[in-house]
Amino acid sequence: MVDALRTLYAALMALSSVASVFGNLLLLMVLLFNKELRSDTLGLTLSFLLSDMAQGLCIISGGAHNSLSRPEGYPSESPFCQGSGFIFLLLQTSSIQSLTWATVDKFTEICFALSYSSIWTARRSRAVLVLIWLFCLVNATLPLLGFGSYAYSESRYLCSPSFTPKNMYFVLLWMLLGIVVPILTMCSLYGYIVYVARKQARRGTFMCNDLHCFYVPANNYLRSSIVMVTTSVCLLVCWLPYISVCLYETFSGQHSPAVSSSLSTWLVLTSAALNPWITCLTHTRYRAAMRQSICRFIQRCSTIGTPLASRPQSSTFQLDVTNRISTTAVSPLPSPETPMPQ
């Protein structure tokens, strides 16, 4: 039973690692190759993308490796385990904090559209980004200084914060400020956006551009509401079991069942693979840019796979059209013997 559970855990972690790396890498490439997506708050999106991709490369893949190759784990006092716990806590906190501030940015863009450019300036965005990483670094360094500790968990197959009664204050501080408050903030903002969307759907809205005004159907607002609700549900499903297990171990002083501990850890690390798709779902511009990028990639692949013998036809047609246009558009020059009109 233990071997079967360990094999299943390794398979799930390996799948999440691959999905996290490729999903975040795909969205990162979409952001870098589409200039219209670059804004003053791009650093917030890049922050949680890089954090999630690093989790897929280091933490999730390490959990899959440890469950198969080193089930006995590492000594908790070893520098490797202490460094792994530091990276684990740093990346987890930076991911959820950056995602929260990216949600705040989205909320400001929707609900305060007229003053958005004056609220989120490039300078303020950089200041928020610096504060996020400063908070995450301080939070991850505290166990190395004696306030809290890192230890190897035999049920998680990872070096992580030690959830014991003697580390209660550190666990509560990290859980409250680093995890619970950001999650409640995101769910509250998503809930308010859903409320505004349903209110707009009931009364209808006209949107105008430089040429004309057009009516926005209610389905657009309802579709946005479904996306926001789905995002909140995914966030809670991934994090609530992990928070519950960690608090139970901290206050009771007992180890939780191996199945619940492993499952909750896999769920919370799988959020690193879901975050890029959540970002694409909640941002219309990202969806359009990703759709265009995928279409361009498919077109290039089909062009590469096309035989060379079938290509000259299109080029010949273009040359014929060009020649036809040039012969009809350009008039002959008058000869020197032809008298010029007076």
HEC readout, 215-242: EECHHHHHHHHHHHHHHHHHHHHHHHHH
Q: How far is CA 33 from CA 24, 25, 27, 286, 289, in A?
A: 14, 12, 10, 12, 9
- The domain 2-292 is classified under which CATH number: 1.20.1070.10, 3.40.50.720, 1.20.120.450, 3.30.70.890? 1.20.1070.10
Supply 296's token pair.
Answer: 């361009």
Q: Which 3 state secondary structure label does DSSP give 164?
A: coil
Cα–Cα distance, 115 to 132 (Å, whole number): 24
What lies within 8 Å, CB to CB, of 251 at 6+ separation is 165, 168
Sign of the torsion angle spanned by Cα atoms 297, 279, 235, 10: positive
The residues spanned by each domain of the chain are 2-292
CB-based contact 43:136 (threshold 8 Å): no
Q: Cα angle vertex 108, ends 104, 114, to 5°?
A: 165
Q: Which 3 state secondary structure label does DSSP give 161?
A: strand
Cα–Cα distance, 163 to 153 (Å, whole number): 10
- Across 251-263, b (16+ Cβ under 10 Å) vs e yields eeeeebebeebbb
Cα–Cα distance, 272 to 268 (Å, whole number): 8
**How would you classify the pairing of strands 158-161 and 150-153?**
antiparallel
pLDDT (tens digit, 0 to 9) for every residue of the chain, 342 residues total?
577 788 888 899 999 999 999 888 888 888 777 777 777 778 888 898 899 999 999 999 988 888 888 777 788 889 999 999 999 999 999 999 998 998 898 888 877 877 888 888 888 999 999 999 999 999 999 999 989 899 998 888 999 999 999 999 999 999 999 999 999 999 898 888 777 777 766 665 555 555 555 445 555 555 666 767 777 888 899 999 999 999 999 999 888 888 899 999 999 999 888 887 777 666 666 667 667 767 776 777 777 655 544 444 444 444 444 444 443 344 444 444 444 443
Q: How far is CA 109 from CA 46, 103, 193, in A?
A: 18, 10, 11
Q: How far is CA 20 from CA 171, 210, 269, 297, in A?
A: 26, 41, 9, 21
